[in-house]
Amino acid sequence: MTRVLVINPNSSVACGAGIAAAIAPVIAGVAPRFDVVSQPDGPQAIYTWADWHAAVGPILRRIAADPADAYVIACASDPGIEAARAATVRPVFGVFRAAVAAAVARAERFGVVAIVEASKARHRTALRAMGLEARLAAEHALNVSMDTLLDPDAARAALIAAARACVDAGAETVILGCTGMAHHRAAVEAAAGVPVIEPCQQAAALALAVVGATAAR
At residue 165, what is the residue type? A
- Kind of pairing between the strands at 110-114 and 136-141: parallel
Question: Domains, the chain, ranges and CATH?
Answer: 3-94+201-216 (3.40.50.1860), 96-199 (3.40.50.1860)
Task: Specify whether the backbone of 131 is left (phi greater than 0), alpha (psi in -120 to 50) or beta.
Answer: left
pLDDT of residue 152: 85
Of the listed ranges 84-88, 148-152, 171-175, the least confidently predicted one is: 148-152
pLDDT tier at 104, thresholds 50, 70, 90: very high
Which one, of 90, 71, 9, lies nearest residue 44 by Cα? 9
Question: Which whole number is the average pLDDT over 56-78?
Answer: 97
Question: Which whole number is the average pLDDT over 69-80?
Answer: 97
Which one, of 105, 110, 133, lies nearest residue 196 by Cα? 110
pLDDT of residue 114: 97
pLDDT tier at 32, thresholds 50, 70, 90: confident
pLDDT of residue 29: 83
pLDDT tier at 214, thresholds 50, 70, 90: low
Task: Output the CA–CA distances (angstroms, integers) from residue 131 to 1, 63, 128, 188, 201, in the order listed.
Answer: 36, 28, 5, 27, 23
pLDDT tier at 213, thresholds 50, 70, 90: low
> Taking the mean position of all CA atoms in its chain, how far away is CA 90?
19
Average pLDDT, the chain: 94
Please state, for a pLDDT cut of 70, what percent of the chain lies above it. 98
pLDDT of residue 212: 75
Q: Tell me the pLDDT tens digit for each residue of 116-144.
A: 999 999 999 999 999 999 999 999 999 99
d(C-alpha 37, C-alpha 74), whole Å: 10
Which one, of 82, 95, 85, lies nearest residue 178 by Cα? 95
pLDDT of residue 194: 98
What does the H/E/C string look like for 188-211?
HHHHHCCCEECHHHHHHHHHHHHH
Question: What pTM was estimated for this model as a whole?
Answer: 0.93
